[in-house]
Amino acid sequence: MTDPPKGESPVLQTDHYIRFERVDSVEETPRGLLAGLHREQLRVDLVADDVVRVKISRGGVFDESPTFAVCTDPLSRPVEFRVERDEDRVRVITSSMVVSLWLDPFRLDVHRTDGTPVVETAADEQGRYWAYATLNDSFTLRRRCRQEDAVFGLGEKSGRHNRKGRDFTLWNTDVLNEHETAEFTAGKEPGDPRGDRTSVDFDPFYVSIPFFYHQSYPAGTMAASFVDNGYRGSYEFSAKDEYRISFAGGQYTEYIFAGPDMPAILGDYTWLTGRTAPPPLWALGYHQCRWFDYSQEAVEAIGKRHRDNDIPCDALWLDIEYMDGYRVFTWNKERFPDAPGMLARLSDDGYRVITIIDPGVKFDPGYEVFDQGLERDVFCKTEGGDTYIGQVWPGNTAFPDFVTEEARAWWGELNAAHVQSGLAGIWNDMNEPATGAIRANAMRFGNGKYSHERYHNQYALLMAMGTTEGLLKAMPEQRTFILSRAGFAGIQRYAANWMGDNFSRWDHLWLGVAMGSGFGISGQAFVGADIGGFAGNSNAELFLRWMQYGTLTPFCRNHSEIGNVDQYAWAFGDAVQDIVREAVKLRYRLLPYIYSAFIRASETGEPVQRPLVFDHQYDATVRDLDDQYLFGTDLLVAPVLEPGATSRQVYLPAGDWHDWHTGEVLRGSRFLVAPTPMDRIPLYARGGAVIPMWAQAPATTKEHHPEVVELHVFVPLADGTHTSRLVEDDGLTFAAREGACYDTTFNLIRSGGAVTVDASVEGRGYPEFARQAFHLVVHGASPSAVTVDGAEVVATEGGFRIPNAGNGFRASFEV
């Protein structure tokens, strides 16, 4: 194998791997090819015109369900193709790509029909191809790339958003646990940030998603790879002219996406692994959480303080101290003598309450949950048949065997009973699974049948699956809300993710920007970091800047560790609180826009927090930009990332952009220096956007059904058509699936000095709907009147009132 660049080392040494070198036979199948090589079989299955699945057997047998990630039949869609053969290769050709199986030496290449590469097998310095090689159940493959190419994805990864030049491990890890991180910090050179588990470059993290994009330079086209394998994985992007993929076990099953456009690739990937479910509206509000030894009186006092201080808030969270000796599904009766009463009172005041649930069940004969788990035989076992014991908060703990349907069903029942007290959601923590000072490798799955390594990375996915199924069975009409620390490909179907135990540091504020973008383009749209930082002490400026940024992220939760300084909205004085209040109120006013972005994500897989490369991949300038992002399709956010900053550089991509604070209209495709006084961060609206907003920020989303919704129209500088959307439904149930909603599409057309907004509506409405009018607010022009469906409407209160109770309309004006 080639030597790594100086100062770097490959994740996996492959000197003794056995390469597959020759194809012995090839036959056509209804979906592609079946080939024989090295006493194994290779299958090439077409999933779509631009997606192909490649599988290699072990022991001559294919594993048709290697993980729980894929949730649909990959071969259910028809694909037209033809097969061509010559002396050296067999080609499978669709309208979008050509899959070339080279026979001797064996290699597999995929190109688009225009000849541009999707994946090409790499050769070593001796000219030997590494299409596939194995050693003792592990396998590896090597692909060509250029030094100037970019790599994105892999979900929750630290460091720069462009992964090129670095190596990564996929192994769900409790990042702040010294026992679990020791193998990854050991042996690092002095000063190597990867030797410090608190650094923004440490790897691995809590979530493993084996899906990434390869962007070719200079064309900007993208291809992607999803390896459907849950074992420990290694992705090496440090070499100049190739990248390597390795897994420590399981079968090789890879989905290759020809692209060339990032949104289409993500759409195909999330068709396979599922899309973020439409969240309950309240889950998009502001959440207050702290690991603290609360009493029920203190919890209610925090709720009252938010209301008294006019700070909107929808959810209060309880960390591990609410339990009786850290026994899951219990309450500390001394501190919470009347939990149902507390929850009812908080509900009356518009709050939802969420409690933490860890997978570790205290080893405690006489404790009902532990006894029941033993009786039902649903705990993980060791190879010898013992109940596996780890060590978490309550001491010795047993762990549900979520690989079995019985364990998932049991866990779902426990969660359903737990929320019957009045809880609104479940917070899954410590689910990597974290086992403290006791190693997890002796934990086996499937009643002891499967190794720990096979399902370690999938444990959180299966935990969320069981929790969701239990909640839906108990409350089939209610949308669920689950927050998970760990995860795998497909976690977005069941839960939101937060980014785990971050630090109250400026570099961790930035980390949330890059990490959130990586999550978003890896299929998980519902994600956010602990605002203010979880570990360490925040300060007034850091907290304020984090709130201004965090209120413009998909999941918005203030969370901090026990023993640290307070970081409630009011903790740093009135001046900070006043600015924080405005940041939270802006989020609440934007909830119609944010909610509509989530509905779009649930339909297309598109992220809510979007790196600029997602929408502007052919602009080479944005390849390495990871300190700003798009929030939804039409808002550009540029957080303040360092102390004392009074300005920052911002890149505006193509189009034109309206400064949210000043109203100035700016042409894109350029850099500018934006002022950053303490009361705001740079925020821009895309020219041509129609952004729906509530006129005022409510204290809570509960039972908030306004009579007026504002439509902020940002007039573009150039002619063209721009599309925006507003989705309104009850925000709680699944009734919208049957049409109980109003789904309004706005097409803004500019032609010379004429601007028209065409609104078309789908859906039959819902009982709680109360809107009677839109209030049209025009930015970038000052028309004195607007013509609505042929009738002139004059300006009042800074805009134009359009009576509307769920019907389409046409509004036009001159600029």
> How many residues are there in the chain?
815
**Contact status, residue 411 vs residue 468, Cβ threshold 8 Å:** no
Strand arrangement of the beta sheet that strand 395-398 belongs to:
361-362, 395-398, 390-392
Q: Which amino acid is at 406?
A: E
Residues 109, 228, 314, 429: which is the catalytic one? 429
Kindly report the CA angle at 640 between 639 and 643, in degrees rounded to 5?
A: 160
DSSP secondary structure letters along 85-118: E-SSEEEEE-SSEEEEEEETTEEEEEEETTS-EE
432 is catalytic: yes
**Contact status, residue 106 vs residue 129, Cβ threshold 8 Å:** yes
Query: Could you identify the residue written with the tokens 């420990």?
Result: 232
User: CB-based contacts of 614: which residues, under 8 Å, 6+ apart?
Assistant: 262, 263, 266, 520, 521, 606, 607, 630
User: CB-based contacts of 521: which residues, under 8 Å, 6+ apart?
Assistant: 152, 153, 213, 262, 266, 607, 610, 611, 614
**Contact status, residue 503 vs residue 533, Cβ threshold 8 Å:** yes
Q: In angstroms, rounded to a whole number, what is the distance separating the alpha carbons of residues 399 and 385? A: 14
- Radius of gyration for the alpha carbons in the chain, expressed in angstroms and rounded: 27
Task: Tell me which residue of 344, 324, 210 sits closest to 269, measured CA to CA.
Answer: 210
Task: Tell me which residue of 118, 107, 111, 108 sits closest to 145, measured CA to CA.
Answer: 118
Q: Which run of H or of E encompasses 428? A: strand 425-428
Q: In angstroms, rounded to a whole number, what is the distance separating the alpha carbons of residues 59 and 614? A: 41
**Contact status, residue 743 vs residue 725, Cβ threshold 8 Å:** yes
Q: Using N-to-C axis directions, what is the helix angle for 506-520 and 540-550, rounded to 10°?
A: 10
**Tokens standing for 256?**
């290759």
Q: In angstroms, rounded to a whole number, what is the distance separating the alpha carbons of residues 369 and 361? A: 7
Provide the 8-state DSSP code for 255.
Answer: E
Tell me if residue 15 falls in helix, strand or coil: coil
User: CB-based contacts of 171: which residues, under 8 Å, 6+ apart?
Assistant: 204, 208, 232, 233, 456, 457
Task: Tell me which residue of 631, 480, 661 sits closest to 551, measured CA to CA.
Answer: 631
Task: Tell me which residue of 160, 36, 49, 152 sits closest to 104, measured CA to CA.
Answer: 36
429 is catalytic: yes
**Tokens standing for 172?**
């769900």
Q: In angstroms, rounded to a whole number, what is the distance separating the alpha carbons of residues 352 and 425? A: 8
DSSP secondary structure letters along 392-404: ETTEEEE-B-TTS
Task: Tell me which residue of 104, 122, 110 sits closest to 241, measured CA to CA.
Answer: 122
Residues 50, 300, 432, 656: which is the catalytic one? 432
Q: In angstroms, rounded to a whole number, what is the distance separating the alpha carbons of residues 755 and 752? A: 8
88 is catalytic: no
Query: Could you identify the residue written with the tokens 């290759």?
Result: 256
Tell me if residue 675 falls in helix, strand or coil: strand
**Tokens standing for 294?**
């609360």
**β-bridge mates for residue 357, sequence order:** 428
The phi and psi torsions of 597 (rounded to 5 degrees) equal: -65, -35
Q: How far is CA 430 from the centre of its chain?
A: 18
Q: How far is CA 603 from the centre of its chain?
A: 15
Residues 242, 501, 710, 728: which is the catalytic one? 501
Q: In angstroms, rounded to a whole number, what is the distance separating the alpha carbons of residues 812 and 791? A: 10
Q: In angstroms, rounded to a whole number, what is the distance separating the alpha carbons of residues 665 and 686? A: 10
Tell me if residue 152 falls in helix, strand or coil: strand
Active site residues: 429, 432, 501
